A and B are shown apart, each in its own frame.
Chain A
Amino acid sequence: MTQPAAARLTPAGRAAPLPRPAALIVHQFRYDLLAFSRNGQSRVFTLALPVAFLLIFATVFKNQTVVVPGGRIHTSVYYVPGIIALGIVTAAVTNLVISVTAQRESGILKRRRATPVPAGVLIAARALTAAVVGLVMTGVLVAIGWFAYSAHLSSRHVPALVVTVLLGAVSFGCLGFALASLIRDADAANPVAAAITLPLYFISGVFLPASTLPHWLLQVAGVFPVRHFELALLAAYNPYSSGSGFAGTDLAIMGAWGAAGLVLALRLFRWTPQSG
């Protein structure tokens, strides 16, 4: 019964070249994205959480204004870039850490270890998946801001917004992978990720407008990448921003964090559960 298939199956005798890493990244990325899009819960909740936050904050702080570089904008408009930052960091750090630690604990990474796929390919594919998720989320949040709060995005700012979203998602994806290797098991993933990201949201102007926060707290926040992501998104989104809306310094600092995250993720990568 199995003979016809078996007859075609011959062990590789020749030394065919392995797929190149760049091709493998694209391959792995396709299937990571496929898995993400097939999982209705992760798809819905990754998007639903930021949308819910935007609607809540915009409703609570209706008719208030916030001081931003160049003038004042409505609070509801201010929250659009902030919630984009929240959504991308949650997807690229919290959700990724939970998913990767679960994959490690269930033995999926251990099985992949026995194949020729390098760790860097798995990291890069996840970072790219986070970038796609980030772009979709940005589109949804910008659309809500546009139609519900008349927060119009200037077309000259679109390239800056796209670049900021992509760089942010990839940087936080690398940081998330580094964090995943430091977490012992899947049970600890959510608390650890929340303990790191939630305070950063608060002090970086994501939940509370930066103009309401004490100066020293913003100084502290300025060390970490979430604040710079928020600032770069705001620069691209703020109607008063002159020029193209690129926040070069903030992008550089966030990118440096991302690069450090990549180095750490590669160095710390763990294929097997701690106990094993």
Chain B
Amino acid sequence: MAARAPVPSVWRVIYHQPRDAVISVTDLRMRYGDRDVLGGLSFEVFGGELFALLGPNGAGKTTTVEILEGYRHRSGGQVTVLGTDPWQAGRSWRGRIGVMLQETGPERDLTVTDSLRLYGGYYPDPWPPGDLLQLTGLTAQARLRAAQLSGGQRRRLDLALALVGRPQVLFLDEPTTGFDPAARREAWAAIGALKDLGTTVILTTHYMEEAERLADRVGFLRGGVLVTQGPPGGLALRQASPAITFTLPAGVSAEDLPDAARRAMSGSDGGQVTLTAAAPLRVLGMLASWADRTGHDLPDLEVRRPSLEDAYLELTGDQEAEATS
């Protein structure tokens, strides 16, 4: 059941019905001492949307999220979440959000089920522990104490605890860091299921594949500024170009390639050549006619659309690549 199917834009225009912004951030500024951590961010997140904040460590992702969660008081700008300023918000607002922090110790002496009952009791209409355990794949661990769980299981318990109040807005701060690939895929399935139910989600992550898989829109933070935002696919194409790779035939050097191909060349590694072009078909055409004319073949020719990771590296510069791996 999709609680809030996105309204097609044409209908919005006809009916003058703006899509509700569940989270609205305008010129958000944060300053610690004389250091600007956030330099005027603006973005909106709409109902039922998953918005991913990406960027290197220290870019301001967690600061932004903690302002939205009501933990920190901004230095300037306007912020509303569910129509309320998080810093002024009270109990009923907290009853409508769910927060999965980057790092939280477990309630060591309580079992998984007890923890879910304890936190569930804070809310008017909590999800039953059994359903949450199933969703997060912790059914077998239900009677274990939190102290006995593995790191990945603890993170899944953190996720279950963030969900227990049936949040309308869910904040996930690096939810799958430290997961093995199988656990990550399960977490993605769970987050995807929540999104299908109409939950609005803000996600921060270092994994571009995660954002590509889950996000409706992503925003790139760098140095406290939102450099760009948009749907992951479109954003990747805007920031990075498709890549054409092939291996030079024996006896052919890069200088022998046609002019258009040489201009598009962005790298060569031994015999492996990479061309990047915003309009790849034109370069491919040149390449094909050149190969035909000279009697060569390019058996490992590959054309690849840019991934979010390519866009990320383009936007953050190579020195940040290590922080993301």
Contact indicator per residue, chain B 123-135, by CB within 8 Å of chain A (1) or not (0): 1110100111011
Q: Within 8 Å CB of A28, what residues of B?
A: 118, 121
Closest to B145 in A: A38
Given known pairs A2-B134, A9-B166, A31-B110, the reply for A19 and B121 (CB within 8 Å) is yes
Q: Within 8 Å CB of B121, what residues of A?
A: 19, 24, 27-28, 31
Q: Once the chains bind, are B109 and A38 in contact (CB under 8 Å)?
A: yes
A68 to B200, CA, bound (A): 68
Given known pairs A11-B168, A113-B71, the reply for A6 and B193 (CB within 8 Å) is yes
How many A residues touch B, CB cutoff 8 Å? Answer: 43
Q: Does B95 contact A (CB under 8 A)?
A: yes
Q: Does B97 contact A (CB under 8 A)?
A: yes
Given known pairs A5-B134, A5-B135, A10-B197, the reply for A34 and B110 (CB within 8 Å) is yes
Given known pairs A6-B197, A116-B123, the reply for A11 and B94 (CB within 8 Å) is no
Find B91's partner among A15, A36, A118 (CB 8 Å cutoff). Answer: A118
Q: Does A44 contact B (CB under 8 A)?
A: no
Stretch of A85-93, A104-112, A135-143, A230-238 on the interface side: A104-112
Q: Once the chains bind, are A24 and B189 in contact (CB under 8 Å)?
A: no
Contact indicator per residue, chain B 19-63, by CB within 8 Å of chain A (1) or not (0): 000000000000000000000000000000000000000000000
Q: Within 8 Å CB of B99, what residues of A?
A: 111, 114
How many B residues touch A, CB cutoff 8 Å? Answer: 55
Find B197's partner among A9, A111, A116 (CB 8 Å cutoff). Answer: A9
A148 to B3, CA, bound (A): 69
Query: Nearest Cβ in chain A — how far from B63, in angstroms?
Result: 11
Q: Within 8 Å CB of B127, what residues of A?
A: 9
A28 to B117, CA, bound (A): 10
Q: Does A39 contact B (CB under 8 A)?
A: yes
Q: Once the chains bind, are B94 and A116 in contact (CB under 8 Å)?
A: yes
A110 to B104, CA, bound (A): 8
Q: Within 8 Å CB of A114, what residues of B?
A: 69-71, 94, 97-99, 101
Closest to B96 in A: A12
Q: Does A16 contact B (CB under 8 A)?
A: yes
Q: Once the chains bind, are B124 and A13 in contact (CB under 8 Å)?
A: no
Given known pairs A12-B124, A34-B110, the reply for A18 and B97 (CB within 8 Å) is no
Find B118's partner among A15, A31, A103 (CB 8 Å cutoff). Answer: A31
Q: Within 8 Å CB of B197, what residues of A?
A: 6, 9-11
Q: Once the chains bind, are B107 and A35 in contact (CB under 8 Å)?
A: yes
A118 to B106, CA, bound (A): 20
Contact indicator per residue, chain A 14-36, by CB within 8 Å of chain B (1) or not (0): 01111100001001100100111
Q: Within 8 Å CB of B165, what residues of A?
A: 12, 115-116
Q: Does B103 contact A (CB under 8 A)?
A: yes
A103 to B137, CA, bound (A): 26
Q: Once the chains bind, are B193 and A107 in contact (CB under 8 Å)?
A: no
Closest to B48 in A: A11
Q: Within 8 Å CB of B131, what residues of A?
A: 5, 8-9
Q: Within 8 Å CB of B135, what residues of A?
A: 2, 5-6, 9
Interface positions of A from 21 to 60, Cβ below 8 Å from B: 24, 27-28, 31, 34-36, 38-39
The contact sample of 20 A-B pairs, CB cut-off 8 A, is: A1-B189, A2-B134, A2-B190, A5-B132, A9-B166, A10-B3, A11-B167, A15-B92, A18-B123, A27-B118, A27-B122, A28-B121, A31-B110, A31-B118, A31-B121, A108-B106, A115-B123, A115-B165, A116-B92, A116-B165
A contact residues vs B (CB 8 Å cutoff): 1-13, 15-19, 24, 27-28, 31, 34-36, 38-39, 102-103, 105-108, 110-118, 272
16 further A-B contacts with Cβ under 8 Å, apart from A9-B135, A12-B96, are A2-B190, A5-B135, A9-B193, A9-B194, A11-B198, A12-B168, A18-B124, A28-B118, A31-B114, A34-B110, A108-B104, A110-B104, A111-B158, A115-B119, A115-B123, A116-B91
